[in-house]
Amino acid sequence: MSGTDAAGGVASTDHAGTGMTGAGGGAGAGTGTGTGRRFRFPTAILLTCAALGVAGAVLLAPMNWLSTALTGPLPFVGMALAGLWLLPSVIALRLLRRPLAGLLVALIAGLVLVPFSGHGFTSVLTNLWWAAFTELPFLFVLWRYWGTWMHYLGAVAVGIVYPISAWAWFNLGSMTLFAQVAFFAVTTASCIGATALGILIADRLRKAGVGGRR
């Protein structure tokens, strides 16, 4: 997207992080140890996040230039690509089920994009802005519940908020009401579609043995 667009590892010891209990799980929850574990990033998790971030940057680098080029003549086509900015973070959260994993992957992807995006370090802020919406639904439940529908809640939220925040950039006020509604619809559909793809990819990766066991 343009520069103005702004934003587990689940080894068997992570039962507290996923809301599961095992031997000693109750004690961990009572002392706060389980909560602390959820915010820890072992080396394997960090490496997975780094790989997802780099892969996300490879995907977003050409999409960034393409969506920017389409902003003027074909804004609706550009919005059809908007959901791709959610993809790396959705995969990370679905696969790892770690608090802030989506933001970490977005940060890495943004840093990798800096020399290639044409927008410098603004790319980092853009990636983090989009990733924040993938984290918010889980933040509200303190990352204790990982229902699939919560991923879609974040997608719908950003699909509505983004057109509002970029209203002036796309000059939506000059469009007809039908065009404005269509703009919101295309953006939201893109975000939902990318989220579904991210969930599918994460589930396939887990079946292949990536990310450890839940």
Instruction: Report the C-alpha dihedral over residues 196, 210, 102, 42, rounded to 10 degrees.
Output: 160
Question: Does the pLDDT at position 128 exceed 60?
Answer: yes
Pairwise CA distance, residues 173 & 138, whole Å: 33
The reported pLDDT for the residue numbered 84 is 95
For residue 32, count other CB atoms closer than 10 A to its CB. Answer: 10
Flag whether the pTM goes above 0.75: yes
Pairwise CA distance, residues 71 & 7, whole Å: 19
Reported confidence tier of residue 212, pLDDT bands at 50, 70, 90: low
Question: Does the pLDDT at position 34 exceed 80?
Answer: no
Domain extents for the chain?
Answer: 3-7+43-207
User: Residue range 39-45: average pLDDT?
Assistant: 83
Report yes or no: 85 and 127 within 8 Å, Cβ to Cβ. yes
Question: How do residues 152-169 score in pLDDT, each as one tens digit?
Answer: 999 999 999 999 999 988
The reported pLDDT for the residue numbered 17 is 38
Question: How do residues 177-190 score in pLDDT, each as one tens digit?
Answer: 999 999 999 999 99
